[in-house]
Structure 1
Amino acid sequence: MKSASKFEKVAARCWNLLNEGKPFTPIFVVGTMMMYLLVQGEIGTNWAPMLQSFFIVLPFFVLYYHYDFPLFLRNYLWIPLLVFLVAGGEFFIGISVFAIALYFFFTVFFWGTFYYHLRIGTSWLNFTRFWKLVMKNSDSTSGNAQEQLPKILLLLNMWLLTFNGMKGITTHSFYWYLGFFASVWLFSFVLHRYLFDWKPKYYEEKASVPQDLEEYEVESDRVIVIVIDGMRKERFQEANTPFLDSLKANGTEYTNMETVYPARTVVCFSSMFTGTYPFEHGIQSNMVWRLGIKVESIFDSLRKIGKKGKLLGIAHLVDSMGDDVETVTAVMKNDVADTNIMKRAKHIMKEQDPDLFIVQLIGTDQTGHSRGVLYDEYLQKISEADALVEDFVNWLQKEGKMNNTTLMICADHGQADGIGGHGHLDEGERFVPFFMHGPTIRPNQKIEDKHSLVSLASTIATMLGAPFPSHARGPVLKDAFKRKEKSS
């Protein structure tokens, strides 16, 4: 199986500019405005007014870049647009209709159909379903129509109004603009200060070795973590997964395992394997402006004791974990993606024999994004992952690599309705499947207390006899381990 090429890594970063909601809004608005003025014959003779009017409305671009309006907060975005119109603004039908048409062309046809067909082999008719997913999506990505449209319409109409009136700007109009901006800023601040209250709580203290750790059997020769990307918890429970069910039943399941905020893949992996949160490791979204985490990872911890870890995943993960990632290309038909990843996983185990091996399966996540999570295709992809994990574990046993090996099975995040949205902890995103299986793991146990995926780093370090990563906060999941038998 091919690794992700340099071109694919760069292309993935460029695509995130259009996928992540924060950069998409200004890029789309500027592009739409320039195309509209070009059609109107304004480009070429009116560059100065266009740039001047842009700088006048720039504070609104900054405001909407700073504040997401995730989940139900998006419903409030229509209020500034309504106030703008009532307070003397103007609604330009031409550019508004043009922007709406261009938005749905980009999301439904270019992204949902053309892009997914070329990348993962989705049908050319995917637009017949994808438009419904865009209308339902609730996370702050470019595919969230109910958030993007009111932002886009306000920015475009304000910009065009300012552009048309550049020669007639008065003190009155300046104070009107200043007052409107101040009111929208205050409105946004109040909403996010008092209504945006669903972020998970942080562990405030750094992780420490439990005082009674000597009472538990914790040591493993090897730890294998299989992350089924984007596997929604209740859909996993509905899917046909006999092997994973057997591992769960004969191991320890954490029934309230919480992911991190924002629940984006690169953020989640960074938090899982550093043991801390975005404000410390520096990865805030899939769009990584500064490559590399700012803190130690579990891979750094293992190097301190002469052990080796490896993460097999798609190109996005290189942006945070660098050379500790063995990349796989994400440009392949989704029906064979996970199969090819597991073939590569066997090759790495045979050639490199890492003490810690983390495998990211991507088929479930890609199906959720392209086809939605509430359809049978999504359950089928989870069932396929089950069969692939079973085949991999059986192969490990034949190769003699399961002796004193602990398995961790989890998702990095769930997926919400719509285009499999994840990031801002909608229903279906926040709590993820997580269970452990191995000779030192208690069988037939369910831990119902709330825990967080940031505990993976310290727990893995404990099992492999390594120090905790420098900023690890998640406590060791000691309840999963067997107690040592007391000598008489």
Structure 2
Amino acid sequence: MKRASKFEKVAARCWNLLNEGKPFTPIFTAGVMLLFTFTRWGEADFWPAFGTGFLIVLPFLILYFVYDFPLFLRNYLYFPLIACLMLGYQADLKLWLTAAGLYFFFTVFFWGTIYYYLRIGTTLLNFTRFWKLVLKNSDSTSGNAQEQLPKVLLLLTIWHQPLSGTAIDQNFLIGLGIFFLGLLLYTFILHRYLFDWKPAPYTARTSNAEIPEEPVSDRVVVIVIDGMRKDRFEAADTPFLDKLRKEGTEYTQMETVYPARTVVCFSSMFTGTYPSDHGITSNMVWKLGIKTESIFDSLRKINKKGKLLGIAHLVDAMGSDVETVTAVMHNDEADPNIMKRAKQIMLEQNPDFFAVQMIATDQTGHSRGVLYDEYLQKIAEADRLVEDFVSFLEENGMMKNTTLMICADHGQADGIGGHGHLDEGERFVPFFIHGPAIKKGVRIDEKHSLVSLAPTIAYLMGAPYPSHSKGPVLTGALKNSRKFSQ
């Protein structure tokens, strides 16, 4: 199994600049302006006007960088655009059409077709489906047309004013300043009173269970089927995973964290806390490395080994505790190759704690959508691969007193398998635990959070909780008759 190269790691970070909505908006707006005005670059008065336009639009660029408008909030982006036109700002129809054309070329053809063809082997006709996903996507990524287009059109209109001959005098600047303050207040009110779907976090440090003197489990194995939407998992053909959850403890209301982006979720799962503590707030990691202890640090304190097998961008958060696999391969080969490497790691390194990220389900959701048969087929394939891996562990004597956890890091919404801001299909994930120390045939319907993963692993292995862990230990799954505090 080929590991992710240094080039792939850098390329993944660069791609996140175009994938994450926050950096995409200013990058794309600037790119459109430069391309649209290309024939005027040699004019003597062009660059002063271009620079003036940038200065007057800069506050708006910052505002739209700071504030996302995900889910239904994106519907409110058209009102500032209409207000801009009603206030007399000149809109250049050719500029708008250029922006829309370049946007759909980037998202539907470059990203949705060429990029996925080269990276995971999707058909060159993928654009016939991907355009629908771009229009449906409700998360704050570059592929959310209903958020990105009204933002970009407003920004381009303001930027273009000096280039269209509008006099940038005192009256213009006062009027623009009033418009900006109105937009700022409008945005603040929307996010203050309508942005109400973020899960309430645990605030106290983990304290509901005292670490046992002797480990409950000798080994813990966590398999994360990235992007496996809960209701689609229920619809898929998964006999082995169904067997595991029926013979173990299932948490039916396991909630992911906000924002539900892969690097954020993994960071929270393995630190036991939230982005406000560990510092990872999106897949675009501006400063490498989590700011808190992880479960890997906790295990080192008791001389135990942990390893995470995953794709390149997890290195940005978890560093050397991640062994990377390349994500540049046909999607039909991705999970089989990952599980093949997982077997090698178990034989060669024999970690006490091992986490594996399976990626094909997520990649299928992103490239082909979650409401199609291909997505269910990838979940079914994951089921077979997990069964094969567990059989391998049993054959090599590695399942004795081993706790197995199966989960997703997040679900996926309908459009481009979008995830981040907890649309329907993203928030609750499959989660069940199986092993000698785990109660059999138990369903727990009380709401829990993935931040409980790290402290539960620490408890099972007799390791101290990570420094900022806030998730309670999942004591409802434990056979141990020890009295737990509430």
Length-normalised TM-score, structure 1: 0.97
- Per the alignment, residue 131 of structure 2 pairs with 131
Amino acid aligned to 1:130? F
CA displacement at 1:402 relative to structure 2: 0.2
Cα distance in 1 for partners of 2:214, 2:348 equals: 29
Cα distance in 1 for partners of 2:208, 2:427 equals: 27
Indicate the larger mover: 273-282 or 476-485: 476-485
- Per the alignment, residue 26 of structure 2 pairs with 26
CA displacement at 1:45 relative to structure 2: 5.0
- Per the alignment, residue 254 of structure 2 pairs with 257
* Kept in 2: contact 1:217–1:481 (CA 8 A): no
User: What are the superposed Cα offsets for residues 152-197 of structure 1, whole Å, 9 maximum, x if unpaired?
Assistant: 100001111133346x222211111000000001000000000000
Cα distance in 1 for partners of 2:57, 2:43 equals: 19
Give the secondary structure class of the aligned counterpart of 2:415.
coil
Distance 1:364 1:44, change over 3 A: farther
- Per the alignment, residue 352 of structure 1 pairs with 349
- Per the alignment, residue 199 of structure 1 pairs with 198
CA displacement at 1:56 relative to structure 2: 1.2
* Kept in 2: contact 1:442–1:482 (CA 8 A): yes
CA displacement at 1:54 relative to structure 2: 0.3
Give the secondary structure class of the aligned counterpart of 1:310.
strand
- Per the alignment, residue 305 of structure 2 pairs with 308
- For 1:147-186, what aligned pairs fall within 5 Å after superposition? 147-165=147-165, 168-186=167-185
CA displacement at 1:52 relative to structure 2: 1.9
Paired residue for 1:456, among 453, 469, 472? Answer: 453
Distance 1:40 1:46, change over 3 A: closer
* Kept in 1: contact 2:53–2:158 (CA 8 A): no
Cα distance in 2 for partners of 1:326, 1:240 equals: 30
* Kept in 2: contact 1:218–1:440 (CA 8 A): no
- Per the alignment, residue 74 of structure 2 pairs with 74
User: What are the superposed Cα offsets for residues 379-408 of structure 1, whole Å, 9 maximum, x if unpaired?
Assistant: 000000000000000000000000000000
- For 1:470-481, what aligned pairs fall within 5 Å after superposition? 470-481=467-478
CA displacement at 1:209 relative to structure 2: 4.6
- For 1:99-110, what aligned pairs fall within 5 Å after superposition? 99-110=99-110
- Per the alignment, residue 466 of structure 1 pairs with 463
- Structure 1 residue 374 corresponds to structure 2 residue 350: no
User: What are the superposed Cα offsets for residues 213-260 of structure 1, whole Å, 9 maximum, x if unpaired?
Assistant: 87x997000000000000000000000000000000000000000000
Give the secondary structure class of the aligned counterpart of 2:222.
strand
CA displacement at 1:91 relative to structure 2: 1.6
Amino acid aligned to 2:87? A
CA displacement at 1:210 relative to structure 2: 2.1
- Structure 1 residue 329 corresponds to structure 2 residue 310: no
Amino acid aligned to 1:202? P
Amino acid aligned to 1:68? D
Indicate the larger mover: 176-185 or 201-210: 201-210
Give the secondary structure class of the aligned counterpart of 1:285.
coil
CA displacement at 1:53 relative to structure 2: 1.5
Amino acid aligned to 2:250? E
* Kept in 2: contact 1:263–1:425 (CA 8 A): yes
Indicate the larger mover: 32-41 or 330-339: 32-41
CA displacement at 1:39 relative to structure 2: 3.5
Amino acid aligned to 1:184? L
Cα distance in 2 for partners of 1:38, 1:398 equals: 65
Paired residue for 2:429, among 432, 452, 458? Answer: 432
- Per the alignment, residue 284 of structure 1 pairs with 281
Give the secondary structure class of the aligned counterpart of 2:100.
helix
* Kept in 2: contact 1:266–1:320 (CA 8 A): yes
Amino acid aligned to 2:15? W
User: What are the superposed Cα offsets for residues 393-451 of structure 1, whole Å, 9 maximum, x if unpaired?
Assistant: 00000000000000000000000001000000000000000000000100100001000
CA displacement at 1:327 relative to structure 2: 0.1
Amino acid aligned to 1:157? T
Gaps of 5+ in 2: none
Give the secondary structure class of the aligned counterpart of 1:409.
strand
- Per the alignment, residue 93 of structure 1 pairs with 93
Cα distance in 1 for partners of 2:15, 2:170 equals: 42
Give the secondary structure class of the aligned counterpart of 1:226.
strand
Cα distance in 2 for partners of 1:395, 1:343 equals: 10
Give the secondary structure class of the aligned counterpart of 1:227.
strand
- Per the alignment, residue 65 of structure 1 pairs with 65
| Matched residues, number | 483
Cα distance in 1 for partners of 2:70, 2:472 equals: 29
- For 1:108-123, what aligned pairs fall within 5 Å after superposition? 108-123=108-123
* Kept in 1: contact 2:41–2:47 (CA 8 A): no
- Structure 1 residue 35 corresponds to structure 2 residue 43: no
* Kept in 2: contact 1:34–1:43 (CA 8 A): no
* Kept in 2: contact 1:217–1:440 (CA 8 A): no
Give the secondary structure class of the aligned counterpart of 1:419.
helix
* Kept in 1: contact 2:56–2:158 (CA 8 A): no
CA displacement at 1:87 relative to structure 2: 1.1
Amino acid aligned to 1:421? G
* Kept in 1: contact 2:121–2:329 (CA 8 A): yes
- Structure 1 residue 421 corresponds to structure 2 residue 418: yes
CA displacement at 1:49 relative to structure 2: 1.6
Cα distance in 2 for partners of 1:140, 1:387 equals: 33
* Kept in 2: contact 1:441–1:481 (CA 8 A): yes
Amino acid aligned to 1:286? N
Amino acid aligned to 2:170? T
Amino acid aligned to 2:432? F
Paired residue for 1:398, among 372, 381, 395? Answer: 395
Cα distance in 2 for partners of 1:308, 1:340 equals: 23
Amino acid aligned to 2:155? L
- Per the alignment, residue 234 of structure 2 pairs with 237
Cα distance in 1 for partners of 2:168, 2:45 equals: 20
Distance 1:44 1:6, change over 3 A: farther
Gaps of 5+ in 1: none
- Per the alignment, residue 140 of structure 2 pairs with 140
Cα distance in 1 for partners of 2:269, 2:150 equals: 35
Q: List structure 1 segments (4+ residues) > 3 angstroms apart after TM superposition.
A: 39-45, 483-486
Length-normalised TM-score, structure 2: 0.97
Cα distance in 1 for partners of 2:264, 2:481 equals: 36
Cα distance in 2 for partners of 1:88, 1:72 equals: 28
Give the secondary structure class of the aligned counterpart of 2:48.
helix
Distance 1:457 1:121, change over 3 A: same
